[in-house]
Amino acid sequence: MRILLLSDIHANYEALDACLNTAPPHDIVVNLGDIVGYGASPNEVMEVCRSIGERFVRGNHDKAVATLAGIEDFNPVAAQAVQWTRSHLTPENLAWLNALPQGPLQLENLPGTQFAHGSPLDEDEYIVNTQEAEIPLKAASCPLTFIGHTHIQGAFAYVEEAVKFEWPRYRIPGSSENVELQLQGGARYLINPGSVGQPRDGDWRAAFAVYDSGAQVVTFCRTPYNVKAAQERILAAGLPPRLASRLSVGR
User: Which residues of the chain form contacts with Zn ion (CB under 5 A)?
Assistant: 8, 34
CB of 39 to Zn ion, least distance (A): 11
Minimum CB distance to Zn ion smaller for 34 or for 177: 34
CB of 85 to Zn ion, least distance (A): 13
Minimum CB distance to Zn ion smaller for 63 or for 233: 63
Minimum CB distance to Zn ion smaller for 17 or for 34: 34
CB of 125 to Zn ion, least distance (A): 13
CB of 200 to Zn ion, least distance (A): 9
Minimum CB distance to Zn ion smaller for 118 or for 136: 118
Say if CB 19 and CB 45 are below 8 A apart.
no
Number of residues written out for the chain: 251
Say if CB 71 and CB 82 are below 8 A apart.
yes
H helices within the chain, ranges in order? 13-22, 42-52, 60-67, 76-88, 91-98, 130-139, 227-236, 242-249
- Burial environment of residue 56 by CB neighbours within 10 A (0 to 12, 13 to 18, 19 or more): buried
Nearest Cα residue to 72 out of 116, 117, 124: 124
Minimum CB distance to Zn ion smaller for 8 or for 177: 8
Sheet holding 154-159, edge to edge: 113-115, 144-146, 188-192, 154-159, 162-166
Reduced to 3 states (helix: H, G, I; strand: E, B; else coil), residue 42 is helix
CB nearest Zn ion: which residue?
A: 34
The dihedrals phi and psi of 234, each to the nearest 5 degrees, come to -65, -45
CB of 167 to Zn ion, least distance (A): 18
